Structure 1
C-alpha cells in the first residue's frame, strides 16, 4: 500500500492548469465545505502490480499530475486535494479489501481499476459506503446498470469501440471480416460482439469467427480458421500481453491482411513482441506523438514525461486519471460540498463537459459517455500515428448519453 501526496509541479501551469482549475465554472459558490479545512481525500484502489499495472499505474500518474495542478491553484473550496493508493495486486480475491482500505483511510471518492471485472467489485464497496466510484472500464456494466447510481464510467466503452470499428471497416470497403474475440475479460468480449452486431446491422456478413483466451501460448486453431476463411480484414478483439502474442502469430503465419484491434492495444509498451507490426488500426483516446488534434493533450503528455522521466506508455489511462480528478474538483466546487448526493447531482449535469479526455456527458440514468469521439491510430513498423477522429453513428438501439 502506498500513501501518495501531491508532488511539486515541475512544469509551467499553462493551458492544462486552466483546465484543472476551471472547476468554478458552472455556478459553484466557492464557499468552504461545511467548515471543513482538511484535505479532500481521493482514494485510488489499483493493480499497481500484476497484469492491471500497465493500465492502472498510468491512471495513477495522471491523477497525481491533476492533484498537483489543482493544489497549485489553491485547491478546491479552499482545501487541498490528497491522494491515497492501495494495491489490489490485480487479484480478484483482494479487490474488495483494497477498496475498503482506502475508505478506512478517509477517502471521500474512490477511483477503481479500469476494468469492470477488476474495478466493478471495488466500485460496489465504495457505493455501499455511500461514496462515488469513478473508473474507465470498457465493459458497459461499469455504471448505473451493473454497479449502481454512484458509479461513473469515463470511458466511451467497448460497445462504442466495436461499433466504431465496424463502421470504419465498412467505410474502407472491406467485405469479408474475420473476428477473433478474447474471452479473458468482458471488455474484449463486448468489442467483438458489438463489431459483429454493427457489421450485420450495416448489411454485411462475417466470413468466420473464433474465440481466444488471453495467455494461451498457441493460436494455431484461430490461425487455421482464418486461413481457410481468407478474409480481407481481421478484427483482433483482445489486449496485451496475450493479445500481442496473438498478433505475432497471425503475422508469422503469413496472414498479411489489415488488422483491427481494440483500444487496449494503445501505446508501444507491447510492440517489441510484434516486430515491425504494420497495417494495424485501433481506436484511442489521445495521441502520444504530438499528433493529437487537441493541443492541451499534446502539452499534457510533454509535462507527464517531464514528471515521470519517461514517455507515456499509452494515451487513455493517464488522460483518464487526470480527468477523474478534474471532474471531482469541478463537481465539488459547484456543489459547494463533498456531500455524495450534492456531488452526484453536479456530475449528472455534465453535458459535453470539457475534460482533458474530451466532451463528457452524464445523466441520472446514464454514466457512460459513449458518444464521445475517439481517435483512430494505425501502426506502421510498430509506430502508431493518428489517422483521424470518429464518433460512433449507431449502437443499435442502445442510446448513448
Structure 2
C-alpha cells in the first residue's frame, strides 16, 4: 500500500478538470485513492489519530484480500494541524492529488472545511467520527457522512440509563459551549431526562479553555440539595479540568459525560483515582467488550502500532471504511452519486461495533447501542449496555430543548 504525505497547498481558483471528468478518470485508474485531511498534530490529534489508524487497518485488510473492485487502495495524507484554515488547504491538497473520497477530522467544527471542499468538488466525504448532525447533509451537503452515533444519542443514553438503572431523579447540566458536539450531548440529555421522570434542577456553561470554573462549582455547592448527577458535556482537556475542580470542591455525586471522555490518557490530569464517572462508548478498549471481535481488533491495532487504542474513537474509523467499501462494491464504481445511493440503502448494516443505517434524510445514527463505561478508583470497566427507547427527533438534533 502506497502512502503519500503531501503539503497542504492553497486553494486553486479553478480546477483543471470538471467534477464529472474527475469521476471518469478515477474509475479508469488502476487504484482507488483515500485522502486523509486530518489532524496529525494539535489538539485534535488525540481524537483523529486512533480513528485514522483504524481506518488504515481496514484499508490494509481490503488490500490483502484482493482490493476494492479489484484495485488496490492507496492513501494520501495531509495535516490540518487542528486548524480550520489548514483544513481547507488539506482537503484541497488530497482532492488535487486525485482522492476518490476525503476523510475529514473527527469533529464537525474542525472537519467541515475539508469536507466542504469535497462537497464542492463532487466527492464523498466521511468524517472520522464526528457526532454533530451538521457533519452530514445538514451542514455540508448530500455527499457527507459520519460513521459514528450522534452526540445527542450519548446524552439521551446517559439520561435514560441513569434514570432506569441507577435511579437518578435530579440532574445538573454543565455544558462547555466551545464546540457544537458538547452542546449536542446536552441537547440529548435535556430531551430524554424529563421523559423518564427526571428533573433538571440547574444548568451552567463554561468554555474549554477557561482557566477556572470556580463560579460554576460554587453554584452547584450552593444548591439546597445536591443533584443526583452532574451531566458534564465537554471534551478534553477542559472536561478533565472541570472534573478535577468539581471533585476538589468536595462534590462527590456521579458525573456523566459524553464519549469524548473515554480513555485512560487524561486521567492523570484529574489527580488521584477518579470514581463515580460514567460515559457511553461504542466499543471497549479495556479488554471487556462483550463482542469478541472488538478485542481481536484491539490486539491487531496493538500489534501494528505498538499501543492499544486510546479511546472508543478508534472504532468509527474502521467502520467508515467498512460501510464505504461495501457501498463501492455494490455500486460497482467509485462514482459519487452511485456510492451515495448505496450508502443510503443501508439498513442495520453490520459493522465492527454495531449496525449502521443511512437514509436520504440522515447520514448519521440517531439511535444505537452503547456500552456504559464507568471509572472506579481510576479503573474503567464496562458495567452495562443500553439502547435508547426511541430515536432522537430531528428537531432535537438541530436545536435542542429550550428551557
Q: Does 2:319 correspond to 1:323?
A: yes
State the alpha-carbon separation in 1 of the partners of residues 230 and 207 from structure 2: 17
For the 8 Å contact 1:34–1:337, the answer to whether it is kept is: no
Shift of 1:387: 1.2
Aligned length: 372
State the alpha-carbon separation in 2 of the partners of residues 298 and 169 from structure 1: 27
For the 8 Å contact 1:155–1:370, the answer to whether it is kept is: no
Residue 163 of structure 2: aligned partner? 170
Structure 1 residues without counterparts, runs of 5 or longer: 6-32
* 1:2-401 correspondence runs (5 A): 4=3, 36-135=28-127, 136-171=129-164, 172-229=166-223, 230-274=226-270, 275-316=272-313, 318-395=314-391, 397-398=393-394
State the alpha-carbon separation in 1 of the partners of residues 348 and 257 from structure 2: 27
State the alpha-carbon separation in 1 of the partners of residues 368 and 391 from structure 2: 13
Shift of 1:195: 0.8
State the alpha-carbon separation in 2 of the partners of residues 35 and 198 from structure 1: 46
Q: 1:360 to 1:74 in 2, by over 3 A?
A: same
Structure 2 residues without counterparts, runs of 5 or longer: 5-24, 398-403
C-alpha distance after superposition, 1:129-174 (max 9, x if no partner): 0000111212111111221111112111111111111112211211
State the alpha-carbon separation in 1 of the partners of residues 26 and 117 from structure 2: 26
State the alpha-carbon separation in 2 of the partners of residues 110 and 257 from structure 1: 43
State the alpha-carbon separation in 2 of the partners of residues 396 and 115 from structure 1: 20
State the alpha-carbon separation in 2 of the partners of residues 356 and 82 from structure 1: 22
State the alpha-carbon separation in 1 of the partners of residues 122 and 298 from structure 2: 34
State the alpha-carbon separation in 2 of the partners of residues 35 and 202 from structure 1: 51
For the 8 Å contact 1:159–1:395, the answer to whether it is kept is: no
C-alpha distance after superposition, 1:320-369 (max 9, x if no partner): 11112222221111111111111111111111111113100011111112
Shift of 1:127: 0.8
Secondary structure at the counterpart of residue 289 of structure 2: coil
Secondary structure at the counterpart of residue 208 of structure 1: strand
Secondary structure at the counterpart of residue 118 of structure 1: helix
Shift of 1:35: 7.0
Q: 1:154 to 1:191 in 2, by over 3 A?
A: same
Residue 23 of structure 1: aligned partner? none
For the 8 Å contact 1:198–1:395, the answer to whether it is kept is: no
Shift of 1:194: 2.2
C-alpha distance after superposition, 1:102-152 (max 9, x if no partner): 101110001110111111222111011000011121211111122111111
Residue 10 of structure 2: aligned partner? none
Shift of 1:200: 2.5
State the alpha-carbon separation in 2 of the partners of residues 192 and 330 from structure 1: 33
Residue 25 of structure 1: aligned partner? none
For the 8 Å contact 2:153–2:392, the answer to whether it is kept is: no
What is the TM-score when the length of structure 1 is the normalising length? 0.89
Q: 1:35 to 1:60 in 2, by over 3 A?
A: closer
State the alpha-carbon separation in 2 of the partners of residues 296 and 400 from structure 1: 33
State the superposition RMSD in angstroms.
2.0
State the alpha-carbon separation in 2 of the partners of residues 34 and 243 from structure 1: 43
State the alpha-carbon separation in 2 of the partners of residues 82 and 239 from structure 1: 32
State the alpha-carbon separation in 1 of the partners of residues 392 and 329 from structure 2: 37
Shift of 1:36: 2.9
State the alpha-carbon separation in 2 of the partners of residues 37 and 232 from structure 1: 59
